[in-house]
Amino acid sequence: MTPGETIFEIYRELSELLRQPARKILEQVRDVHTVYDPLQYAAAPWRSYLTRYLDGPRRVLFLGMNPGPWGMAQTGIPFGEVQAVREWMGIDEPVGEPENPHPARPVTGFACPRSEVSGRRLWELMAARFGTAENFFRNQAVLNFCPLVFMTESGRNVTPDRIPSRFRASLEEPCDEALRRSIEVLQPSYLVGIGHFARERLARVRERLSGRGPGPFPAPPVRILHPSPASPAANRGWAEAVTAQLEETGIW
């Protein structure tokens, strides 16, 4: 089994493990009206991404938090802005429909007319620096910590860090384990959290890895600015800021 196929199986198991916690959150957390799992209904492009671009160890692992409604929620790929996935990565696979779709957040897959700003910023930077997707993914990988999308009744995104603490452990523990197993498969030298939350999860998982015996282990994770348009700093030259961060740390 190739590394990409192994990670596909790891996250397929994770998807099943998260069903019960997601159901409990849906029933008991007032702000959560709908939950999507792109690993279920967008498994085809997700699998294509893993088997095409994560076919061996990678020097750098970038980690995001969870899917956005116009990115991975549509394509099944982390930060999966439709145009970048279809035209830069060359992936365009059938996408089904989530259970109980939210009327304000329809899933139309690669026919989605919306562009996710975070994904567009991320992949435009990688395309500008590395040219082709093949060049970027030769030594780097991108995953998300939690594969689920949580939404309010209005359709607003609820990120995992905003789920009430008494429910978070049931999400974070299986996601931590899936991340740990993926790091063991990819054997990265560097871990990069895209935003504070992702960096903290990487630090926690690296600590668990180091407690299992002799290394080598990845270097302590670094944090880069999240490309979300909700961040004022990201709206003032995100690509330049992140490039400087990665060059200063020696990752680039």
Closest alpha carbon to 93 in 64, 51, 125? 51
What is residue 77's three-state secondary structure? coil
Total domains in the fold of the chain: 1
Q: Summarize pLDDT for 33-74 with one digit per residue, the tens.
A: 999 999 999 999 999 999 999 999 999 999 999 999 999 999
Range of the domain at 121: 3-248
d(CA 245, CA 239) in angstroms, rounded, equals 10
Peptide bond into 160 cis (omega under 30): no
Pairing mode, if any, of strands 149-151 and 190-194?
Answer: unpaired
Share of the chain above pLDDT 70, in %: 98
User: For all residues of the chain together, what is the average pLDDT?
Assistant: 95
Q: Is the pLDDT of residue 209 over 80?
A: yes
Q: Taking the model in full, what pTM does it have?
A: 0.96
Query: From the CB of residue 244, how many other CB atoms can be counted at a distance below 10 Å?
Result: 13
User: DSSP 3-state assignment of 95?
Assistant: coil
Which amino acid would we find at residue 52?
R
pLDDT of res. 208:
87
Within 13 Å, how many C-alpha atoms sit on residue 81's CB side?
16
pLDDT on residue 240 = 97
Where are the strands (E) in the chain, listed by range?
34-36, 60-64, 140-144, 149-151, 190-194, 222-224
CATH number for the domain spanning 232: value is 3.40.470.10
H helix intervals, 54-116: 72-75, 82-83
CA dist 8 and 85 (Å) reads: 18
| Residue 211 in this model has a pLDDT that exceeds 70 | no
